Structure 1
Amino acid sequence: MIILAATPIGNLGDASRRLVEALENATVVAAEDTRTTQRLLAALGVANRPRLVALHDHNEKTKAAELVELARDQDLLVLSDAGMPTVSDPGFGLVAAAAEAGVAVTAIPGPSAVLTALAVAGLPTDRFTFEGFVARKPGERSAALGALAAEPRTMVFFDAPTRVAATLADMAVAFGADRRAAVCRELTKLHEEVARGTLAELVAWAEAGVRGELVIVVAGATARVVPFPDAVTQVLELVRQGTRLKDASAEVSAHTGHSSRELYQAALAVRR
């Protein structure tokens, strides 16, 4: 089978016993960076030296079929540089190919930058969405953030320290300067820091420069108080502009709090 194994995101003490046992018994390891995996083996005191196969964004499409066939006959341990493979890391293509080929896939749970940041941010955790890495190009970044302006769930993003000040400034424009957020830096490491505040406050905080690995957590939009009839009117206006009724109902639901199904049915009744 294929075994996806989560590795520490900073503190080696977070390595689970299952991870160490898997490394001690592995014969083949597909690794995002084989050098990182070699350092991990040494740091954890694992004497075993399995065959290491590189599996990264640039070769996953060509390597997936070969590794799936290998996993028919023996266990294949899959590691990313930190955290769980497939979550903004290589592995998704391999798992998809394995599922299609009928090869079993399991996971060894462990550290997650997404869940760790969400836990310490001090923002609602009952519903959240992971948006991955923020777009590098300013135009693409602004467009992507603008599309999330009405998202009611807490949002989690990855970003680079060299871009975080610009990203926070774009978030303040897209979400509003008073939207609550947190920047989680160097999670589980010696210099761990969680900066909390409004986006405007965090923009000022980041202007001095930020170092280390980052996760940004942003509060979701608060649904505006809009009377139901007015919300139905908004749906109908979007439909008049060319939006499908189902999509229009979902969009208005997101920023008014009214049921998408009820908006759909009410708008449909008016159109009849």
Structure 2
Amino acid sequence: MTSVGTVYLVGSGPGDPELMTVKARRLIDEADVVLHDKLPGPEILGLIPEDRREDVGKRAGGEWTPQEYTNKRLVELAREGKTVVRLKGGDPFVFGRGGEEMEHLAANEIPFEVVPGITSPIGGPGVAGIPVTHRDHTSSVSFVTGHEDPTKEESAVDWQALADTGGTIVVLMGVGKLPQYTQALLDAGKDPETPVALIERATWPDMRVATGTLESIVDVRDEAGIEPPAITVIGGVAATREKVVEFLANQTGEWDGEGEEE
């Protein structure tokens, strides 16, 4: 009788392979099958032989794998006795639906383990020179999804409350709906001159950053052609980048401003 395999819910970090944990890399190398999202990035996915990986990713407005299929596939593979890595960008439990998969595995009595990863709403802004908290700007930060369940009758995000807190707001998967939530924050009374940064493909070799204000960022997005995957950072911390980007460019030779829109 075939013994049941183990499923590992693994966070790959924001995309740079060197930002993966040692455990994540080991499990990827040892897995019989890796079910991956789109977000781990080409360099990380390139580490996995094609015959050991399955794409179950989702992309706004593009290819889409139903979550029900992914849940079913995890159980099927484990019951075949395989060691399975469910590889996600960032951390499995930060808008990664890892919680749903964990519950499904438990309900089907499939052994599993969670392997945390560097979450993109912290790591992404960081590599772009933007701290999500700063003593001079804010002592709080809120993570918000810009792509809620389309079956919801109304948004669960209280933009008025977020505007009232005065803290940093980091929006994931929100490039397409940028006009809606920036307007919601303006309607809630947030200062139109609030700094905003868009970070596309954070930590990937082709990372780009575009900056503006709450009032101008939609035009900046359009002019720069910023596309998913991207992170939106709203708040005074977004302006910190201006103070460090030139120094970091001179220090590393990597921040040459290419693709930069100010």
Counting only pairs closer than 5 Å after superposition, residues 51-200 of structure 1 correspond to structure 2 as 52=54, 54=56, 58-61=65-68, 63-64=70-71, 67-68=74-75, 70-71=77-78, 73-80=81-88, 82-101=89-108, 103-119=110-126, 120-124=129-133, 126-134=139-147, 144-146=158-160, 148-165=162-179, 167-174=181-188, 175-196=190-211, 198-200=213-215
Task: Please report how far the alpha carbon of residue 77 of structure 1 lies from its aligned counterpart in structure 2 after TM superposition.
Answer: 0.9
Corresponding position of 1:23: 28
- Following TM superposition, the consecutive aligned residue runs of length 4 or more in structure 1 with deviations greater than 6 angstroms are 36-39
Task: Please report how far the alpha carbon of residue 95 of structure 1 lies from its aligned counterpart in structure 2 after TM superposition.
Answer: 0.7
Q: What is the rounded CA distance, in whole Å, between the counterparts of 1:155 and 1:127 in structure 2? A: 9
Distance 1:23 1:66, change over 3 A: closer
Q: Give yes or no for contact 2:14–2:124 (8 Å, CA) kept in 1.
A: no
Q: Deviations over 1:123-154 (max 9, x none)?
A: 426532211125699x967x853453323542
Q: What is the rounded CA distance, in whole Å, between the counterparts of 2:22 and 2:111 in structure 1? A: 22
Task: Determine which structure has greater relative contact order: mean sequence separation of CA pairs < 8 Å that are 6+ residues apart, divided by chain length.
Answer: 2
Corresponding position of 2:46: 43
Q: What is the rounded CA distance, in whole Å, between the counterparts of 1:124 and 1:215 in structure 2? A: 16
Partner-residue secondary structure (3-state), 2:217: helix
Distance 1:170 1:159, change over 3 A: farther
Distance 1:47 1:181, change over 3 A: closer
Q: Give yes or no for contact 1:28–1:53 (8 Å, CA) kept in 2.
A: no
Distance 1:196 1:136, change over 3 A: farther
Task: Please report how far the alpha carbon of residue 10 of structure 1 lies from its aligned counterpart in structure 2 after TM superposition.
Answer: 3.7
Distance 1:185 1:171, change over 3 A: farther
Q: What is the rounded CA distance, in whole Å, between the counterparts of 1:53 and 1:161 in structure 2? A: 23
Flag structure 1 segments of 5+ consecutive residues without an equivalent: 221-272
Flag structure 2 segments of 5+ consecutive residues without an equivalent: 1-5, 59-63, 237-262
Q: Give yes or no for contact 1:121–1:196 (8 Å, CA) kept in 2.
A: no
The two structures, once aligned, show a CA RMSD in angstroms of 4.2
Q: What is the rounded CA distance, in whole Å, between the counterparts of 2:231 and 2:44 in structure 1? A: 26
Q: What is the rounded CA distance, in whole Å, between the counterparts of 2:197 and 2:230 in structure 1? A: 10
